[in-house]
Chains A and B, each alone.
Chain A
């Protein structure tokens, strides 16, 4: 079975400050890794994903995450946050199977609420 631990339930930061949201996972098999964002009263939206290749992945709105296999981590970072980044962020994994595919279903962490203050 897979499990995901997000080490911080809440992260308050000031606007334009850097931020790191931590995620560690446990799995006996290879996994794919994801970050989802959930704005108030909305569904989850995919922020970025790691399937293979470069261990550093980036989103279109300035977030990046680095897959570290030895530390089983996939921390999310942004060098300068905006008020609009205030949301809840979820780290998730899915089992990787042969041929670069997966079973599809995701196992989520418990979420980190990022609050950006002016």
Chain B
């Protein structure tokens, strides 16, 4: 089966610019997650979707971050405006259903550098 696809792989922007990341989960996976992984730290959950609805966005900095999953498949994560501290790898993951203990499958991530 095809894995979780993310693009772009790398992105360099200046602070105060905007940026968007795209994720295509594994086919049939209802649950989608965005994680932020800052260098030297473990991944931190930003937002969890179940189909096209938000389950948990308690750790998403909503003043600058937004995410959507309009048709319950692909998802985009946007940062506007970016800050230096947003430099990180943004990981997308998907699973069949959170209630089934199905494992999370991760994409390769997008490495964002804010200068």
A: residues with CB less than 8 A from B are 4, 6, 9, 32, 36, 41-46, 49, 51, 90, 92, 99-111
* B42 contact from A4, A46, A99, Cβ within 8 A: A4
- Are B40 and A110 in contact (CB-based, < 8 A)? yes
- Are B104 and A109 in contact (CB-based, < 8 A)? no
B: residues with CB less than 8 A from A are 3-4, 31, 33, 40-45, 48, 55-56, 91, 93, 95, 97-101, 103-104, 106-109
- Are B45 and A106 in contact (CB-based, < 8 A)? yes
Q: Could you say which of A9, A43, A45 has the most chain B C-beta atoms within 10 Å of its C-beta?
A: A43
Q: Report A-chain residues with C-beta under 8 Å of the C-beta of B3.
A: 43
CB of A22, distance to nearest CB on chain B (Å): 14
Across the interface, name the chain A residue whose C-beta is closest to B44.
A108
* B101 contact from A45, A101, A107, A110, Cβ within 8 A: A101
